[in-house]
Structures are given as structure tokens and as C-alpha cells.
Structure 1
Amino acid sequence: MRKLIIVLLAVVYSISSNAAGIITVPVDATDNAKAGVEATIANVKASNMEAFLSLTPEKVKAMTGKKMNFAQKMALKMAQKKAKRAGGEIPKGLYIVLAIFGLAWIAMGVMDNWSGSTWIINLVLTFLFWLPGFIHALVVMKNYY
């Protein structure tokens, strides 16, 4: 029972800590297994953001030949989520309030950095009638949160 509690506390700590603090490249290359996976993630993230967002643990294993542990997988997912939201930071509650008032297209534009067509589609749907724009905003919300 004691070991289970320690493992659960370690998992909670690793999930709650900052993703950048979990994925680190060691200064000395004594631990080549960790250095290979984490260096690959850092290189992909630095070179191409879209490639980083499409990165999966299976792709990392194919690139490095080493399997990621649970903490590394969680850190990768949290870093991808943080990088995905780098365009704009709107809380989920504010997004829903803007959708209710028919202004979800503004939130979508900010979240997408005013690129793409989702905010234009939502603007047109909101002008046609409020309900289609509101439904579209709720459907597209899963891409942001």
C-alpha cells in the first residue's frame, strides 16, 4: 500500500509540474536512453511546430528506437497542448460566454491568430442566425481545449 501511494504521488507531481521541467536534455551524455528521446523531441519542436504537434510516442520510438516512459509521454502531451494554445490564451469560460453572446468568432480568431477559416465560418453562421453559430462554436471548441 505504501509503494502504491508513493507511485501515485510521483505521478501527480509529474503531471502537475511544468512540462518544460520534465522534458530536459542532460548536460552530460551518460544517460543515452533519456538523452536520445528528449533530444529528438527538442529537435522536432525547434525545427517545425506542426511536426511537433503531430508527434506521438510511436513516432518518437521509430525515430530514436527507444520507448518513452509514462512521465515522458505525459510531458509530451502537455507540451503539445501548451504549444497549440500559444496563439492566444482565452479561458474556456470566457469562450463559452462569447459564444452565448454571438461573439465566438472573435475568440476563434484570437485562438487561431486570425489565420484559418473557422472564425469566418462562425461569423457567417452567426449572422444567418445565432443558433448555428453557437453550435459551431461549441463543436470547434474541442480543438482549442
Structure 2
Amino acid sequence: MNLSYLVQINRLPGNEDIELPRKMSELASGFDLYAAVEEEVVLMPGERKLIPTGFAIAMPAGLEAQIRPRSGLAFKFGITCLNTPGTIDADYRGEIKVLLINLGQEPFAIKRNERIAQMVFQIVPEVELKQVDRLSETVRGAGGFGHTGRH
């Protein structure tokens, strides 16, 4: 079953030269996002900055957009998204921005119209939370971080 959703996109004034999000291959799940910085931005090692993309979106209820790192930037330069995945809610109408951090060893320059992250759309189920006095038992129980051992 192939679900399809209409997401409206609005290029913000002054960003006519910025690429709109797009998939880089036929079966890609993410839309690449481009930097709408006015001038080159340098991220020093350990530094984080909020990078504009030059567009806003309107999604139908039941969807979210997740902002995720680009694997090539992460592997080659240590550039990743802080707060990953970043969630864009269906009722948000402001500019999409990407919170980047440099975990690498060298300064990293971000140029206008450079691919900086990806946006993946996800279905958000309708969930109702119900308070109870006791939860059902499982084999795992309350076993958390590392409960199954190192190997």
C-alpha cells in the first residue's frame, strides 16, 4: 500500500536561489535540505549553530517532519544535527532551521545552497494515554540500558 500526503512548501522571500528540498534518488526516504545562509558560516570544532533553509511547510495532521543528519557530512567531517531527529510538528509554520554541530577536529565552512541535512516525513499515530495503577508483566520487565550485557 502506497500512502501519499500533500505537503505545501513556501519559499521565503530572499531565498529564490535556494534549492527546495528534494530527494537525491528515486527510493530515497529523505529530502535534502540546503543552507540559506547570507554568507559563509564557519562551525568550529564543538560549536553549534542554527542554519536557516529558506522555506516553511504546512503538513496535514498526522504527519511530522524529522530533521536528520546527512551521513556523508557526519562520516567525513563530523558534522551532525543536534537534537536528532529534530521534530517539525504539523502545526508549525515558521522557517525550517537545522541545528548543526561540529563534532570533528577541523573548522567546517557552510556555504549558501550547500546540502546540510535531510528531512524525512513520518506518520504520527493518534495516541491516548491512560493512567493505570499497574502495568502488565513482561520477561524484560524494567531492564534498561545495557540489561542484556555487552555482547
Bigger proportion of residues as strand: 2
Bigger proportion of residues as helix: 1
Q: TM-score, normalised by structure 1?
A: 0.26
Work out which structure has the larger RCO, using CA pairs closer than 8 Å and 6 or more positions apart in sequence: 2
Q: TM-score, normalised by structure 2?
A: 0.25
